[in-house]
Amino acid sequence: MAPRKTAILSVYNKQGLLDLAKGLIKHDIRLLASGGTAKLIREAGFEVEDISAITNSPEILKGRVKTLHPKVHAGILSTNSESDEKDLAEQSIDKVDFVVCNLYPFKDTIAKINVTIEEAVEDIDIGGVTLLRAAAKNHARVCVLSDPQDYAEFLQAMDKGEVTERSRQLYALKAFEQTADFDTTIADFFRKKYASDGIQQLSLRYGANPHQKFAAAFCKDGPLPFKVLNGAPGYINLLDSLNAWPLVKELKQALGLPAAASFKHVSPAGAAVGVALTEREKEVCMVADIEGLSDSALAMAYTRARGADRMSSFGDIVALSDSVDVPTAKIISREVSDGVIAPGYSKEAFDILSRKKGGKYMILQMDEAYEPPTTESRTVYGLQLQQPRNDVKISPKDTFNAIITPKDCPPLPESALRDLTVATIAVKYTQSNSVCYALNGQVIGLGAGQQSRIHCTRLAGDKADNWWMRFHERTSTLQWKKGIKRADKSNAIDMLCSGRLGQLSKSDIETQDFLQNFDTNRAPVAFTNEEREEWLSQLSGVAVSSDAFFPFTDNVYRASRSGVKYVACPTGSVADQDIFAACEKLNITFVEQSVRLFHH
């Protein structure tokens, strides 16, 4: 006769326990149970033995030690091998075939108002976790039940004569998930208690919105990769900072130049590398008076990044690849900005920035050596999503070699490779869909997050056009009324450059608001359509990158109207050949960029 099978039962949640016990006894399974579990089964009139029947050791320490014993876990962990059978026989240990266990309500305990550490510690389950993990580890032989919702299905399988291997696998997975969640909850609790000093966990003001309280940022595997030197980061501040930092880090690695980004709502408003500024560019970007600007490649990079789209950069997060110097700090200090992340700050630069926003300006110091895990995960509506981190490397040397059209195209000039690199790394960190126009080592127009690619291309192209209109003499020589703020200047310039001013009557309230920025008789005249077209026709040499293929030729036609000479994007559209042909007719060089770069 086959030896009688044994089940160990030790549950906090006793839902369905008596029906399960009845079903196990029906199949002549010996029941061993601990504490309250044994008491409930016994009081219901079912035959059950205490765990001590096999351990010969009583429950001690108020029940904290009852199942932690070699005769329990050897019985669970033993296989059918000869050596295991020999060990069991020598120690007079019987195999355990079923383990029924669930854990103390640690989550409920710590959810109580003003719960103490002592109260929480009492509900850290040790024996239960060990039972579940041991049984789940040996699920090839042992069936583990950790969820009362599975009891009915299990008993039906027993009535049919067998619990299948597939069922044992799924029960084991559930047990592992239960112990993992239990351990994660404990770690989260103690991280908040013991590591809330900003080293491993950082409390945030709130989440994405003020009503989403008790937000936090933490690392499971060590200290946070940044230090908060000033201010108090918010949830969105960190989303922007931790997307902007790798962008500037990659730009510097790819091009060997200091890099800067102006980030808003998890997409760059602008990004650039430290290409020298002309005097005209300094005037247009409102930095001509910054002492030492031409000696700081970092300051010139941020000037270009902020100057890409001043409207979108209002209230930005600044990311800088290099230690912040005084010229860069002076530029940031005069703009409306929420914070900065960089690997370091000179003392003078830090003093300048720390006075911003009444001393509340967020200043983060990033660890340059930090490398994130290769796998990233996020929770969406209660579901865990996981994927490998997008670690594809974009470089001017290796990424833009596959020129499709024109057929006899010579190697791309260094300026084109630089600008394609800037645009492509920018779309890598931009909410998809995304299309980026770049020139002179900087983003000049970026379209993000639209459902249609043509709308991204149009949005980015319109921004590039507005950027170029700012260099028109009429725009760069505006005579402002004394005391006009920089943000109001940017709004007025946008209204003029976008063509909106020409669409309104002089009596329109929006026009009147615009005119408040200027003294009487000094207000600029709106651009005519002919003037805009004539000036925009002078924009040339622009590079465009798209995070996925152009599905239709309309993207090429729109890009060409903003001076585009180079296009880099993946192929795979059914209209690829039409797109190549359109590029060739418009004298645009099309480079296949072989990696899709969606970012969500």
Query: Which residues are catalytic, by number?
Result: 137, 265
DSSP state of 324: B
Alpha helix (H) residue ranges in 429-485: 453-469, 473-476
Q: Within 13 Å and on the Cβ side, how many CA atoms surround 415?
A: 8
Angle at CA 176, nearest 5°, toward 172 and 180?
A: 170
Asked if 259 and 232 touch (Cβ cutoff 8 Å), the reply is no
Asked if 308 and 426 touch (Cβ cutoff 8 Å), the reply is no
Angle at CA 65, nearest 5°, toward 59 and 68?
A: 110
3-state secondary structure of 252: helix
3-state secondary structure of 230: strand
How far apart, in Å, do the first and last CA atoms of the chain sit? Answer: 61
Two tokens, residue 190: 């103690």
3-state secondary structure of 112: coil
Please state the separation of Cα 14 from the chain's center in Å. Answer: 40
Give, for 66, the enclosing helix (H) or strand (E): none
- Provide the residue type at 274 as one letter: G
Bridge partner residues of 590 (DSSP): 405, 567
CA dihedral defined by 371, 375, 380, 382, rounded to 10 degrees? Answer: -120
CA distance 135 to 153: 19
